[in-house]
Amino acid sequence: MQVHPQSGLSRFVMEVAVAVLTGAFGAAISIGSIEAGAGWTDMGPDAGYFPFYIGLLIIVGSLANLVFGFVRHRGSQEIFVETGRFKAVLGFFLPLLAFAAVSTFLGLYVGSALYIAGAMIFQGRYKWWTGLPVGIGVALFFFIIFEIGFKVPLLKGPVEAWLGIY
């Protein structure tokens, strides 16, 4: 009987990706802090003084993680996530990413209705005549709770404007 090696995303790739991502996050914090003023004035520290050094700390930690990843995991064949499981995670992550993109343009209520209906139909294998009313119902429920109950306006898009809900 042959043993097939596992296929998937390696631990080394994930170590490097996370280190680069957190390093970019730290760089963004530091650059933004410089724009806000990261120096010292007669009145004390500028607005960006503390965040600038936090960003530098994040960059240093990311560089340490990057070196650690190269030293410890470069030659290893350790699998972080198997291909089959990674596809299942992407099955929920990609629709969530689409929800964020759609909500930016169409508003949170339309985005949440589409996301919930889509998740029910495509992930939960519900019929469209079940998923669509539930998605719309949940969006209406959110609208009543946030807009009317708590009086907290959430991001709205062109559909709400077309309906006169602004």
Rounded distance between C-alpha atoms, residue 119 and residue 96, angstroms: 9
**What ranges do the domains of the chain cover?**
7-81, 92-165
Based on C-alpha coordinates, what's the Rg of the chain?
23
The pTM assigned to this predicted structure is 0.62
Question: Residue 36 is encoded by which pair of tokens?
Answer: 């806000």
What's the chain's average pLDDT?
A: 90
Is 50 exceeded by the pLDDT of residue 4?
no
Percent of the chain's residues with pLDDT above 90: 64
Is 80 exceeded by the pLDDT of residue 166?
no
Mean pLDDT of 143-165: 88
Question: Residue 84 is encoded by which pair of tokens?
Answer: 């089959």
pLDDT at 5: 55
Question: Residue 43 is encoded by which pair of tokens?
Answer: 């009145």
pLDDT at 1: 40
What pLDDT band is residue 109 in, cutting at 50, 70 and 90?
Answer: very high
pLDDT digits (tens, 9 = 90+) for 43-84: 888 889 999 999 999 999 999 999 999 999 888 888 888 988
User: For the chain, where are the E strands, in sequence order?
Assistant: 8-10, 40-41, 44-45, 79-82
Q: Kindly state the DSSP code that residue 126 receives in the 8-state scheme.
A: -
Closest to 114 in 3D by CA, of 126, 127, 96? 96
Instruction: Give, in degrees to the nearest 5, the angle at Cα 107 between 21 and 92.
Output: 50
Mean pLDDT of 80-107: 90
